[in-house]
Amino acid sequence: MEDRGEGMQTKLFINGEFVDAASGKTFETTNPATEDVIANVAEGEAADIDAAVEAANRARTGKWARFDGRKRQDALFRLGQRIQECATELADLEMQDTGKTAFDAGVVEIPLAGEVFKYFAGWATKVHGGTTNDPFALKMTLREPVGVCGLIVPWNFPLLMAAWKVAPALAMGNTVVLKPAEQSPLTALKLAELAIEVGIPPGVLNVVTGYGPTAGARLVEHPDVQKIAFTGSGDVGKEIAAKAAKTLKRVTLELGGKSPNIIFADADVDAAVKGALGGIFYNKGEVCAAGSRLFVERSIYDDVVAKLGAIANKMAIGDPKEKTTRMGPVTSKEQFDKVMHYIEAGKNEGARLVAGGEAADVNGKGYFIRPTVFADVDNGMKIAQEEIFGPVLAVIPFDTEEEAIAAANDTPYGLAAAVWTRDVKRALRVVRGVPAGTVWVNTYNLYDPALPFGGFKESGFGRDLGEAALEQYTETKSVWIDLSP
């Protein structure tokens, strides 16, 4: 008898209780390193979303609404602490669900998710409106919660992406229904368990696991949901924006990218190479801001390509639980097939393979792909234009700064970018010249809860993190009180 999912939460979390789906259905979540089933998880559908929204709607005017900022601050700060105290358990769930390494899950993702709750906890006591100074009227603004927020998140950073949305939403006094990705439902359910522990009242945070086209779609349609915050693919993002228009929900979308990383000849080349490799291979390239297009100034191009190839070819790929492993499997069979398809496209379009380009055999199981570097890529090629969302780097030479900026901007995306140079004026010209939500200078893939994150162009709109996120989860109400004599 198998003991699938023992010790894990696998049921929906609605109105403060773990419950089966109304239909009784479950779906399997699997470990991409072993292809084993980890657990059978409740498959929420429209009826379960309706129950969760009803609970969230009730909680909106209940105890949570009567919590003052200090109480919300304390609860959210404790939630951040509990996440960090449970880092080992949460990282283990994340590793099993997504194949990310012990380092990526336990040192980066989970502690950062805790930090996000602590950061937004502080804002719960600091958001307020303003007043004017007129003698015969008191005119003021109130910042009020938006209402019930539907939060739909992807599988690449399951708990962190949930934290980016749950933390500011709750800090501002909203109630939420969170729909994690089907590939990675486990940490969202553990978050629910921790939310009970820290005293977040029933109905304030609800988690409905299930599929996008059923559970996710109902959340987008539901008339009592006031806002949808989504991170995921561009196609689904566009569908959500169109559907949400029917009830004029507030929508924020954090979509994909094809982020350019530009290395000039005057840069610290070894640091740039290391940054470029981290920029694409961190979390197997399953990062919306992955630096998937690397532009290298021609005078250092051969040297950089040689270094990239040498290091990529030596990267330890294997069991994500092993401390020495640098890269685990991609998250699912679908991702494996998609990434392999792009690798074939790169070969067919004539790019020069300098590392990887094939699946890796790790005990004959799992969805492992070797870190792949293509050189001599043309920015018009499929591997330079479409989001691969996997461990595939496209390296492109350039001669002038103008040419590099023009090529960097020649995609529909604008999520992130980076520039490596010792010339501060040049760095700032690139920062200003590239329409992207985040631009790193002489580094890559760094995040801070205080720094807003989001896209320009088809990478979406709205900002997660920082003070900017508070605007996404509040409405401004103007009040005019007549004081005329």
For ligand NAP, the binding residues (CB under 6 A) are 152-156, 179, 181-182, 211-213, 216-217, 220, 231-233, 236, 239-240, 254-256, 288, 338, 387, 389
Closest CA to 394 of 447, 353, 359, 358: 353
Q: How far is the CB of 180 from ligand NAP (least distance, A)?
A: 6
* Contact between residue 297 and residue 265 where contact means Cβ atoms under 8 Å apart: yes
Consecutive H or E run containing 25: none
Closer to ligand NAP at the Cβ: 168 or 212? Answer: 212
Would you call 288 a catalytic residue per the annotation? Answer: yes
* End-to-end alpha carbon distance in the chain: 81
Closest CA to 260 of 426, 421, 379, 157: 379
Q: Is the CA virtual torsion 92, 93, 99, 101 positive or negative?
A: negative
Q: How far is the CB of 71 from ligand NAP (least distance, A)?
A: 30
Secondary structure of residue 419 in the 3-state scheme = strand
284: left (phi over 0), alpha (psi -120 to 50) or beta: left
Q: How far is the CB of 432 from ligand NAP (least distance, A)?
A: 24
Strand spans (E) along 301-379: 352-355, 372-375
* Contact between residue 148 and residue 169 where contact means Cβ atoms under 8 Å apart: no
| Residue 424 main-chain phi, psi, to 5 deg | -65, -35
**How far apart are alpha carbons 73 and 85 in whole angstroms?**
18
Identity (one letter) of the amino acid at 225? V
Angle between helices 298-314 and 269-281 (to 10 degrees): 50
| Residue 151 main-chain phi, psi, to 5 deg | -115, 115
Q: Count helices and strands (H / E) in the chain.
A: 17, 21
DSSP structure string for 45-60: -HHHHHHHHHHHHHHH
Closer to ligand NAP at the Cβ: 233 or 409? Answer: 233
Closer to ligand NAP at the Cβ: 161 or 470? Answer: 161
- Burial of 68 per CB tally in 10 Å (0-12, 13-18, 19+): exposed
Q: How far is the CB of 37 from ligand NAP (least distance, A)?
A: 17
Secondary structure of residue 101 in the 3-state scheme = coil
Closer to ligand NAP at the Cβ: 118 or 165? Answer: 165
Closer to ligand NAP at the Cβ: 267 or 392? Answer: 392
Q: How far is the CB of 239 from ligand NAP (least distance, A)?
A: 5
Q: What DSSP character marks residue 30?
A: E
Closer to ligand NAP at the Cβ: 139 or 338? Answer: 338
Residue of 254, 286, 387, 458 marked active site? 254
Cβ-based neighbours of 465, under 8 Å, separated by 6 or more = 116, 164, 447, 448, 449, 450, 451, 452, 453
**How far apart are alpha carbons 354 and 325 in whole angstroms?**
21
Would you call 149 a catalytic residue per the annotation? Answer: no
Task: Quickly count: other Cβ atoms within 10 Å of residue 387's Cβ.
Answer: 22
Cβ-based neighbours of 242, under 8 Å, separated by 6 or more = none
Closer to ligand NAP at the Cβ: 206 or 421? Answer: 206
Q: How far is the CB of 374 from ligand NAP (least distance, A)?
A: 18
Nearest position to ligand NAP, beta carbon: 212
Residue of 109, 115, 182, 288 marked active site? 288
Closer to ligand NAP at the Cβ: 236 or 296? Answer: 236
Closer to ligand NAP at the Cβ: 13 or 155? Answer: 155
Q: How far is the CB of 386 from ligand NAP (least distance, A)?
A: 9
Q: Is the CA virtual torsion 215, 219, 222, 225 positive or negative?
A: positive
Measured torsion, CA atoms of residues 233, 238, 240, 244, in degrees rounded to the nearest 10 = 160
Q: How far is the CB of 290 from ligand NAP (least distance, A)?
A: 9
**How far apart are alpha carbons 38 and 98 in whole angstroms?**
11
Residues annotated as part of the active site: 254, 288
